[in-house]
Amino acid sequence: MWVLWILLLTGNFITESWSLDVSHLSVTYGQQLSITMMSVTDKLEFTSVNKEQSYIIWSRNAQPKKGKVISSGEENHFVIKSVTFDDQGNYTQWNLWGKVGSVHLVKVLSKRRIQGCVPGKNLSISMDGLSKDDVKLQFFGKDFNLTLVEHGLPVGNNQFGYWGRIHITSKSIQVLIVDGSDVGKYILSDHENNTVTIIILSMFNCELQPTQLKRIHGQQLIIKLPIWYKKLEFSSEKEKQSVLWPSCAQHTRKYVKGSGYKRQFIINPVTYNDQGTYTRWNYRDQVSSVFKLEVFTATHIKDCEDGKTFTISLDGLAKEDVTLLFTNEDSNITLVEHGLPVNNSHNHFSERIQVTSSDIQVLNIGVSDMGNYTLTDHEGRKVKVITPHFVYKAKPLLALLLLLLIPALICCCYGDKIYKKCTRSTTTTAASTTMSAVKTENQNPLLADKKKPKAPAGRTPVKQSPAQK
């Protein structure tokens, strides 16, 4: 009884001496709004900022019409988890005596973000729960202002300099591959023109950093050229700036593939002459990105077979420009000079080197040709070092020689017994690829030939002479 009496007294005291408790609350869009309710509050009334709406959100005997009332200990809090502009207005607490206890003037602020422009990265702007059809995105730059998205449509894509760079998903808007010319203010607003988000893309970090590219001679280089790029230029120490694309020059090694977003500039294979700087220009005639290509010597180990032709691709170099050098512990021999085989009767490669427009061939390669084959271009730059690796395969000729000598003797001694054994083993698949010479001993061709007179196709032991090829 006393408690109630005091409560009533203090209640009266508060309302009368403090008159009205007015507080201003600013909440950033999407953040939580929390209003502490006085213990004597009977109901909470909301009046929207334009006074179009006014209703009791919560009273002691009803569920809240928006938000939630959360009790923690003695206190009650009215909470809206994620505010929108619709929540702006006055929140009035009426006390048990039918008087206004407090008013919270709630203002919703735009979100703000300052972001350094990192060239080549996407700028992503969240729609913050807005329906896609309601959003508008405007750009305010140093040189121009532009609406990029309206009613959820990427209208900016029709503009020079954007050409498809505005991507909209259900949750965000992306401006693809930004560069210095995209620096400025981006304003996202809802269907009532309320500014939801302000993003300032700053020049900070925006200096163009060349991207270092490394390729091994003969590899492929791809530079993406989506529709929003206007031009690709190349320069090197020896060559001043030249336009690679768009260009009418026909080139088998350098070409453009695909269209639209998927357009690519390809160099295949890459040579030392492609070393240098590649510059992509946008439709605002600004450099959008820079690539620096460095080319390295290729070193390969390449399988080859004794007696076969060993080919060394020129990887796009002109035949007249190449030199081929052979080195091992015992010798240094120039095999090809300016695309012509070097005629030196002193070396064991004599007559065995052929040059075509795309490769160099070492005919009838043998174990004595083991070493490194170094291809250099017209400026003496080492293009590649190829080391043959001999893979031993079933050699009918070698087998014949071996078998003529050894098993012939054995056959004489063991006669029929061996004959049976030999014929049985020849029926098993003898064409397997990497068979050791030892294994072929079981296939005495003299004996086998009695049953199978024809040698299997392609295995005829003919020594290749250069004249044949």
Ligand X SMILES: *[C@@H]1O[C@H](CO)[C@@H](O)[C@H](O)[C@H]1NC(C)=O
Q: Given the rule CB under 6 A, which residues bind ligand X?
A: 22, 47, 49, 51, 89-90, 103, 105, 121-122, 140, 143-145, 167, 174, 176, 192-193, 299, 327-332, 337, 340-343, 371-372, 385, 387
Closer CB to ligand X, residue 36 or residue 54?
A: 54
Cα of 353 vs its chain's centroid, Å: 42
Report which DSSP code applies to 128: T
CB atoms within 10 A of CB 278: 23
Q: Shortest gap between Cβ of 99 and ligand X (angstroms)?
A: 14
Q: Which helix (H) or strand (E) holds 412?
A: helix 396-414
Q: Shortest gap between Cβ of 338 and ligand X (angstroms)?
A: 8
Q: Which residues contact 91 (CB under 8 A, 6 or more apart)?
A: 35, 44, 45, 46, 57, 78, 103, 104, 106
Q: Shortest gap between Cβ of 100 and ligand X (angstroms)?
A: 8
Closer CB to ligand X, residue 102 or residue 426?
A: 102
Q: Shortest gap between Cβ of 89 and ligand X (angstroms)?
A: 5
Q: What is the DSSP string of 343-357?
A: --TTSTTTT-EEE-S
Cα of 93 vs its chain's centroid, Å: 57
CB 139 within 8 A of CB 146: yes
Closer CB to ligand X, residue 262 or residue 451?
A: 262
Q: Shortest gap between Cβ of 104 and ligand X (angstroms)?
A: 9
Cis peptide upstream of residue 269 (ω within 30 degrees of 0):
yes
Closer CB to ligand X, residue 158 or residue 327?
A: 327
Q: What is the dihedral of CA 289, 295, 299, 305, to 10 degrees?
A: 90
Q: Shortest gap between Cβ of 35 and ligand X (angstroms)?
A: 14
Closer CB to ligand X, residue 212 or residue 343?
A: 343
Q: Shortest gap between Cβ of 460 and ligand X (angstroms)?
A: 28
Residue 107: closest CA among 136, 77, 86: 86
Closer CB to ligand X, residue 90 or residue 110?
A: 90
CB 395 within 8 A of CB 443: no
Closer CB to ligand X, residue 124 or residue 364?
A: 124
